[in-house]
Amino acid sequence: MTNIRQQLLSQFPILESHRLIMRKIVPNDTTEMFRYITDPQVQRHTSFQPGALRFPARMFRYFEESYWILRDLHFAVDLKQDQGRSSRLVGLCSLQYWDQTTGKARLGYLFAPHSWNQGLATEAVKSLLSFGFDTMGLTVIEARCGQDNPASERVLQKCGMSCLEGLTEHNLLKLYSISSNEDK
């Protein structure tokens, strides 16, 4: 097992940005996260199918299992506490389908509708891209975005990702990519 894999398994990383803390998902997060994921406003923009998971406890097991085999790293995204307010969960940001041999992974994220249009997704994605390239040694990070989701496209573009030519999955998704040698 390589050093980074050992480090990730021994301690889940905590990422921090100006307004956010990104940390391991814990059982107490799952009810709130399940509510966000199943929100119709969120569902229309994601390929994540919570119906297959049926209830929050099963969703938590999915996140845990994907972590223990180090296929995916799913981060709970908390808005930092502010003037006596406790931090609160606002979303999920992930590096998925990590292939250490090729140095590739896929970025995924979703946020509660009440946190949209505040730059939080952009802030979280930038933190995760830096972690992926600088700590995990990734060489390419890809993302998929629904062609009817211009807000998510702006997030990916602000983070330096480029749209690849063509669409995938029945012409419903645009592909974005960034490599470690590009400006982030």
pLDDT digits (tens, 9 = 90+) for 40-87: 776 666 666 555 556 667 777 888 888 888 889 999 999 987 655 556
Helix axes 150-158, 120-130, angle to 10 degrees: 40
- Domain at 3-179, CATH class: alpha beta
Q: Where are the domains of the chain?
A: 3-179
The pTM for the full model equals 0.85
- Strand 140-146 and strand 104-111: the pairing is parallel
For the four alpha carbons of 50, 52, 57 and 60, in that order, the dihedral sign comes to negative
- Position 55 scores a pLDDT of 62
